[in-house]
Amino acid sequence: MHARGSLPHSDPGAGWRHTTVLLVEAVSALVIDPDGIYVDGTFGRGGHSRRVLESLSPKGKLVAFDRDPEAVTAAGEGSTRIDDPRFSICHERFALMAERLTALGVARVQGVLLDLGVASPQIDNPARGFSFRGEGPLDMRMDTTRGETAADFLDRADERQIAKVIRDYGEERFAAQIAKALVARRERGLAVRTTRELSQVVAGAVKTREPGQDPATRTFQALRIFVNAELEEIEQGLNAALMLLAPGGRLVVISFHSLEDRIVKTFIGQHSKDVFDRRVPFASPRAMRLRAIARVKPSPAETHANPRSRSAIMRVAERTNVALDGVAA
């Protein structure tokens, strides 16, 4: 189970503690103009946002997005509230950041930060259904106000559909066996509705697993990614960020597994070179729109203090002065 953050910590005011991954490195790469406007597309519990605000001047602004209503509530209430006139938050998917910011009169920003994956407070709360480590309803939605739960999907999908999701999003070699077991249980009138039930079915279908890894790890990851359309969200969000970034603005993305990082790496690579249209050999190439700056991994000290940071990869790119239509920005 890949997650951004740390182990749960009981705190009556703040709930689950969230240790932000690559905090200093991400904000240092992001904030190049203290007077600028910045976007935190994945607010979570606000670790990066708070650090960004510390780095901004009184003229600077930060707009955050999160599709999880609990995260938005945490930003505005109780001990986790951010009381800063330079800060605002939208209950929305980061894929829609360009649309929302345009409606607010913001055409360009100096930086966009995306900390991908599921946050520790989501995983550590059994009621959200993200983890096989606790008993809870098999929900897995990041936005609990809309959409289909993981349990609902498993209750309606056929064996082929279930196997495809588990194989494609979980890279699970036993996907067919797991899907068959899930459908067989459903046909007996025992459709899985809880995290423990799903874990038990997977454990019975997966015969071998890497040392130290729970048999259900890949299946839970796959269902979570599918239910939340996470990979599609990343692609749409990267395009939205590219539309918003001013020349010299920074794109900073932290990924936690290979499926995420592959999309980010490909996107930056595609926009970090001049592209020639082979159908029109004498036409001018589409000029590069991004410049790859860095690829950063957590330090040994960070991974020791926060084991969940081990798989993190941060990629940084800078917007060039070429607009999306090829005209100078």
DSSP state, 287? P
The band of 1, judged by pLDDT with boundaries at 50, 70 and 90, is very low
Phi, psi of 50 (to 5 degrees): -65, -40
Residue 5 has pLDDT above 50, yes or no: no
The band of 247, judged by pLDDT with boundaries at 50, 70 and 90, is very high
* 6-25 average pLDDT score: 57
CA 70 to CA 94: how far, in whole Å? 16
- Note the pLDDT tens digit of each residue in 223-238: 999 999 999 999 999 9
Is residue 259 within 8 Å of 169, Cβ to Cβ?
A: yes
Q: Give strand ranges (E) for the chain.
A: 3-4, 37-40, 61-66, 87-91, 109-115, 118-119, 245-255, 290-296, 313-319
| Ranges of each domain in the chain | 3-121+230-319, 144-227
pLDDT value at residue 48 = 97
- Note the pLDDT tens digit of each residue in 36-69: 999 999 999 999 999 999 999 999 999 999 999 9
* 165-180 average pLDDT score: 97
Window from 90-99, 235-244, 299-308 with minimum mean pLDDT:
299-308
Phi, psi of 27 (to 5 degrees): -70, -35
Is residue 290 within 8 Å of 318, Cβ to Cβ?
A: yes
- Note the pLDDT tens digit of each residue in 140-159: 999 999 999 999 999 999 99
Residue 125 has pLDDT above 90, yes or no: no
Is residue 111 within 8 Å of 30, Cβ to Cβ?
A: yes
CA 115 to CA 131: how far, in whole Å? 19
pLDDT value at residue 72 = 95
pLDDT value at residue 13 = 34
Mention the CATH class of domain 144-227. Answer: mainly alpha
Measuring CA to CA, how many Å separate 308 from each of 104, 132, 242, 318?
36, 16, 29, 27
Residue 295 has pLDDT above 80, yes or no: yes
Q: 40 has which bridge partners?
A: 64, 113
Token couple for 200: 């038990």
For residue 7, the Cα-to-chain-centroid distance in whole angstroms is 18
- Report the SS3 class of residue 259: helix
Token couple for 195: 């995290």
Window from 101-105, 121-125, 203-207, 322-326 with minimum mean pLDDT:
322-326
Give the DSSP H/E element, type plus range, for residue 153: helix 150-156
Q: Degrees (nearest 5) of the Cα angle 194, 214, 149?
A: 30
Is residue 20 within 8 Å of 48, Cβ to Cβ?
A: yes
Dihedral sign (CA 185, 188, 191, 196):
negative
Tell the CATH topology of 3-121+230-319: Rossmann fold (3.40.50)
Residue 18 has pLDDT above 60, yes or no: no
Mean pLDDT of the chain: 89
CA 80 to CA 94: how far, in whole Å? 21
CB atoms within 10 A of CB 278: 6
